[in-house]
Structure 1
Amino acid sequence: MTQEIEIEFKNLLKEEEYNQVYHFLPFKSVELIEQTNYYFETEDLKLKQHGAALRIRKKADQWTLTLKQPHPEGLLETHDSLTEEEANLWIQNKRVEKSRVFKQLRDLGIDPDHLHYLGSLTTRRKEVEYNGALVVLDHSLYYDKEDYELEVEAESRTSGKAVIQEILESCNIPERETDNKIKRFYNAKLESE
């Protein structure tokens, strides 16, 4: 899939709340997935100004370049596959042109040559299907930080909101304003400088 609309809801968790959700749903029976996101931005933060984010994700032996942009229904994600060699070139700030993502960047008025590598965030993830949605538990590590997050991806805003509210209420967890991973990564980067 080269483009998709992502509808998701997030809630940061304390470690004990993460464990509550882990036992509330059958996470124990699913495989742990480890993935690393490598983030990119321009010096003048053009992506951030557009509410967009650019990453390479390594999941298993697959490398994917993804541009996330605001969309009325959620986020528009544009993907291009990369080889490991291409991904390593990107991380060394030697960009390899990828047609779909580069087109979207240029449509935003962003010159891909102005992008540079910021750093990485590694996530240990568990996923289960629940009430027609994908429910995800993430434990993320970046800079000297770690955090825990509940994420629900759904076909519609209504169903996604209902699923996350049901889980939070069942586990007696407060709803928290939750920035996405790239914003949390940026904030940790700024704190570390």
Structure 2
Amino acid sequence: MTTSTRGRRAATALLLGTALSLTACGTEHATGPAASASHGAGTPGASPYVEPGAGDGAPHYNENNAFRREGEMSPASAKDAKKEADRIEPVIKRLWEEKKWDPASVRAALLGLGYKEKRTGPKGERLGGTLTVQELNSRWETDHYVRPEGAMVALRVHDDACVTAFVRKTNYGVTTNGLYPETGCFEPPAGH
């Protein structure tokens, strides 16, 4: 072997050794049952960075999706919200059966129950009323947005409780929920 070949091999070995030590930097090499459990042994592809309760297992899932988690309702508020949902559900069902799912028809029917439409001031302050009826959110289809026929409803029962509903050609639904941090009674449609 010539001196230059030995030099190249030594340099290659040194470079390879440095690369291996750098890629192992900060890595713990524990063994035993505890190490296997904590590193997701038996779960191929499991990330050691998964947050507890993370929906899809992504790091920062809970932080990134906090805006999509509704607040808690007190037991008394939950009971009141259920009572209002029970009043609203037959009306929404009737409208669906009559094929009247446009926001104007839904609004008129719910105002007929004695609810008042929500009003806000120029700075977003609440001026009264608790009912909001609007078109369904648009959604992406193939290469453009479409807005399906139908209406969505929010009734703010208390500062921590809502009734939300929807009615459209295919179905309807009425539920109770807490408030969302950014959108009040309505569940946020998408991430930001």
Normalised by the length of structure 2, the TM-score is 0.25
Structure with higher RCO (Cα < 8 A, 6+ apart): 1
Larger Rg: 2
Higher fraction of strand: 1
Normalised by the length of structure 1, the TM-score is 0.25
